[in-house]
Every structure is written in C-alpha cells, then in structure tokens.
Amino acid sequence: MSEGLRERKARLNRRRMEKAAVDLAYEEGIGAVTVARVCSVAGVSRSTFFNYFPSLEEAIFGPPLEYDPALAERLLTTHHADLVVAASLIVTETVRGQTNDDVTRRRLTLFAREPGTTSAVSWASYVSRERLIDVIRAWLDAHPELSRLPGEDSSTEARLIVAMSISIADEGIRELQEVDGDLVIDAEPYRRARRRLAAILAEPEGLHASE
C-alpha cells in the first residue's frame, strides 16, 4: 500500500524532530538537549513535539528496539559460545541500523561518547529488554544443547544473559573506535568486558553453594 500524503507528512515531521534532537546531542552533548531547543531547530511547537514523542529521551535515542530475526540469528550463530557478547552485538547493530543513515549512525556514537548512557537507556526501556529476552529465549529453545543452565527454564537464562549484556555493552562500547563520525562495531571490546565481568563474578575459593 502506497504512503498517503498525511502519512508522509507525519513521517517527515517525526524525522525532522529526531534529527534535530540527535544532531544537538551529537554536537553539544546529551545534557544540552531540551524540548525547546529541538522545537526551535525543527520549526515545530511543543505540543506538536509531544504528539510524536512521549519523552525527549525517545527523540534522542529512538523508540523501543525491534530486532531483525536474520540479524539476531546471524549474531547468535556466530557467537554461540558466548551469548552475552552476542546479545550486546544484537543491540549495538540494531541501534546502528542496517542502512547508511546519519541519525542512527550519530545515535550509536552518543552511547560511546557519554559513559553510562547504554545502561541508563537499556534499563529504562522495558520493552526493548523484553523483546531481546524473547529473542534469546527462542534461540535457546531451538538450541538446548548450547544452554549454560541445563535443566533451568530458558526464560531464566535469557533474562540473565540480557542483564549481563547491558553491563558489558556499557563497558565495551566505550572502546569502540570512531572513524569519520562512524562507530566501528567490533566484538573484541565486548569480549574484554565479558572477561572482566567473569572475573568479578567468579566464585571465591572455599565458598560452597550452601553458604
């Protein structure tokens, strides 16, 4: 079905406001962005802004993530030995998007430039987390031989994987290299963060499960 005039106008309005919010954050920092400044740059009223976005954060960071099945399958298969790293990469590549888009490119760079942003946004977005948990759970159900928690419900393992992936993504993304304004996605910084987390979570010597 072709896009009607009203739908096209709405899409372009939303895009203009998103671009204004992301550009301001990219050029001046997230803390410098206000609804008033976005409206001024985009040439819209405050009421129009809130007709499109429930919050300033959504204009900057985007709506809840929707995970492409082919992308998720590729990354989970490639990194099947470490689903925590795979989950981190799924989110990173989803934020970046699969097209050459300045808004999504700059949006991803914000997470690397401002430490703590990944955790803050991830924990604030219940919908994005639950969608990722569903993706991981379904994959574990299809590949039970790769479960690290045999005998446990796959939803439990998926929740733990996603929770840990938020922590390592927040650390790993800080080490990604920015080249000509584009963040180069690389699994190795996430693996290093994963090893640090594993060291912290390692069971102390002499501690028994009953203690």
Whether the per-residue pLDDT at 210 is higher than 60: the answer is no
Q: What is the mean pLDDT of residues 75-98?
A: 95
Distance CA 97, CA 107 (A): 10
Q: What is the per-residue burial (b if ≥16 Cβ within 10 Å, else e) of 155-169?
A: eebbbbbbebbbbbb
Arithmetic mean of pLDDT over the chain: 93
Both tokens of residue 165? 């992936």
State the Cα–Cα distance between residues 107 and 19, nearest whole angstrom: 10
Say which residue, 6 or 48, is predicted with more confidence: 48
Q: Are 183 and 109 a contacting pair, CB within 8 Å? A: yes
Does 1 have pLDDT greater than 80?
no
Q: What distance in Å separates the CA atoms of residue 91 and residue 74, rounded to the nearest whole number?
A: 13
Confidence (pTM)? 0.90
Tell me the C-alpha distance between 55 and 50, whole Å. Answer: 7
pLDDT at 109: 92
Structure confidence by residue, pLDDT tens digits, 53-65: 999 999 999 999 9
Q: What are phi and psi of 178, to 5 degrees?
A: -100, 120
Given pLDDT bands bounded at 50, 70 and 90, which one contains residue 182? Answer: confident
Q: At what angle do helices 83-96 and 187-201 cross, to 10 degrees?
A: 140
> What is the rounded average pLDDT of the residues 154-160?
97
